Amino acid sequence: MQPVDHTYTALNGRLLLENSLLNKGTAFTHEERTELDLHGLLPPRIETLEEQCHRAYKSFSIKPTPILKHIYLRALQDTNETLFYALLQRHLQEVLPIIYTPVVGQACQRFSDLYRRPRGLFIAYPDREHMDAMLANFRRNVEVIVVTDGERVLGLGDQGIGGMGICIGKLSLYSAVGGVTPNLTLPITLDCGTNNQELLDDPNYLGWRHNRIDDDAYYEFVDMFIQAVKRRWPNVLLQFEDFAIHHATPLLEKYRDEICSFNDDIQGTAAVAAGTLLSAAQSIGKSITDMRVAFLGAGSSGCGIAEQIIRLMVNRGLSDEEARSRFYMVDRHGLLTDNMTELHTFQQKLVQQSASLPDALQNQSAFLKDVVEHIKPDVIIGVSGQPGLFTQEIVEMMARNHERPIIFALSNPISQVEATPEDIIHWTEGRAVVATGSPFAPVEYNGRQYPIAQCNNIYIFPGLGLSVMASGATRISDGMLDKAVETLAKAAPSAMDPNGALLPSMENIQQVTRDIALYVAMQSGAEGLSPELSEEELKNRIQARFWEPTYRRMARTVV
């Protein structure tokens, strides 16, 4: 009988050390080194995981630039995943911006130059007929996939196969925060070509050097992928990541009831932004149902946030029509109204009726400044991907209209933010309630420190993943996302203290993730999307599924 607290492997020697999921490095004990033929392949000192973490953090800290820190962490992940995740958990606040936004954006832009070791799966359009064979190359069960086509990476546009960097980063957070076993995750890039001329001209670019395929071929290609995934891993959770506006919503609507899936840029971003807005409303003593909200940016992300907030308003008593009348969506063509043509389907549901607008807004040249001046929205939310569009004039107007204006500048990376928190705080004399999409240091103004809430999707997607795996949910419904929003808002310090932070601290992120997983799982059971289990049963399942980066005794497989 083999002890259950051991990990058994047929690998030994250098092959074992080159397997990042099994490698323990200098933590292999003397007995393990003897049994697994490791003597002489490692320095003689035997370290604990804690000692390794201390040494790795020291190496990380001396790297002089954020991108070099990112490269170091990726190399560590490719060498020893247990140590990588242990380091992440111990220094999450510091490491998060390095493995995720904003530094991951630079890594995506330089993906081909930085490429060292294979991770994930690249499915290029010319190889589409071999898709089943490519998925079969992963001879293990997979429970979470993050897939991209790289067409709209953050606010950086088309990065081709460089979008793989985002998928790797997201799955790292599934494991570090959501307790998903790394071996059960898989990042995938669908290489549909690229329209980024710099990449096409770059001799080092590793992707398919071809312009992006047209929509007919594109949708056929994606469908081939979805069907292949369903054949290979029918119960997988599939997360769509960084798809362009004209593809993201159609793909979500087509496949969300066919495979357990969600789009993090639409639904994850919407959930964390809505949860943060609920927290902001709590902190200033207003009801979300009384607010008017203006958006700068009416793409899939902005419209997704609007739809999530509308559901919150409806859940609190407003009719759908009343809720929608409170939203003012502004894109590069101006305020969206019923007089506009050629709008996307998801935009058409958020237009303002021209007849109900003030005269000054009844022309197609009405932009955010006009909306702020004539509508006096309580909230402005920026998801434009364009820097500096929350001008001093607009922000000061918000401050004249409201004692505590709510201003969310959510575009990322930092180079694309609509206004910096420092400017917003100064222009409003410290009265604005501010949230951003990228991390910013606290702002000091008139002797007071203002913490800046980062609407980071890390607050949502790991909890969704953990919930699906613990409950066995077959789909992710709007009701499940609503429950995640409510749970996040209740966990915010502002729920107890008006001066408290709008989002929980990173020190509490694992507990927040477990809470979201629990209540989302209870909701999925109530909707018949998973077995209906008691709260205690679900807590036990979540605990049992929550992977922790620790070393187990390793031994050779007994044949």
pLDDT, tens digit, for every residue of 522-532? 999 999 999 99
Which CATH fold would you assign to the domain 100-259? Rossmann fold (3.40.50)
pLDDT, tens digit, for every residue of 137-187? 988 899 999 999 999 998 789 999 999 999 999 999 999 999 999 999 999
For residue 383 the two structure tokens come to: 């998801």
Q: C-alpha dihedral over 21, 25, 27, 32, to 10 degrees? A: 80
Report the pLDDT averaged over residues 479-492: 96
Q: Are 518 and 179 in contact (CB under 8 A)?
A: no
> Is 100 part of the annotated catalytic residue set?
yes
For residue 155 the two structure tokens come to: 């606010």
510 has a pLDDT exceeding 70: yes
Percent of the chain with pLDDT over 70: 99
| Closest alpha carbon to 479 in 519, 532, 523 | 523
> Mean pLDDT score of the chain, rounded to an integer?
94
pLDDT given at position 3: 58
Q: Pairing between strand 144-148 and 293-296?
A: unpaired
Q: Do domains 100-259 and 267-455 have the same CATH topology?
A: yes
> Which amino acid is residue 106, in one-letter code?
Q
pLDDT, tens digit, for every residue of 82-107? 999 999 999 999 999 999 888 999 99
198 has a pLDDT exceeding 60: yes
Q: Which of 100, 205, 459, 551 is catalytic?
A: 100
Q: Which of 170, 174, 328, 551 is catalytic?
A: 170
4 has a pLDDT exceeding 70: no
What distance, in Å, lies between the first and last C-alpha atoms of the chain?
Answer: 12
pLDDT, tens digit, for every residue of 250-294? 999 999 999 999 999 999 999 999 999 999 999 999 999 999 999
Phi, psi angle pair for 529, to nearest 5°:
-90, -5
pLDDT given at position 361: 87
pTM, two decimal places:
0.92
Binding-site entries for (S)-malate: 152, 412, 456
70 has a pLDDT exceeding 70: yes
363 has a pLDDT exceeding 90: no
* Helix, strand or coil, per DSSP, at residue 382: strand
CATH of 267-455, one of 3.30.450.40, 3.40.50.720, 3.30.360.10, 3.10.50.40: 3.40.50.720
Domain ranges of the chain: 6-47, 100-259, 267-455, 464-497+509-545
pLDDT, tens digit, for every residue of 306-334? 999 999 999 999 999 999 999 999 998 89
CATH of 6-47, one of 3.30.565.10, 1.10.260.40, 1.20.1370.30, 1.10.730.10: 1.20.1370.30
Q: Pairing between strand 237-241 and 144-148?
A: parallel
How many helices, marked H, and strands, marked E, lie in the chain? 24, 16
> Is 170 part of the annotated catalytic residue set?
yes
Binding-site entries for a divalent metal cation: 241-242, 265
559 has a pLDDT exceeding 70: no
Other residues' Cβ atoms within 10 Å of the Cβ of residue 556:
15
pLDDT, tens digit, for every residue of 455-474? 999 999 999 999 999 999 99
Which residues, 6 or more positions from 439, have their beta carbon under 8 angstroms from its beta carbon?
96, 97, 101, 102, 454, 456
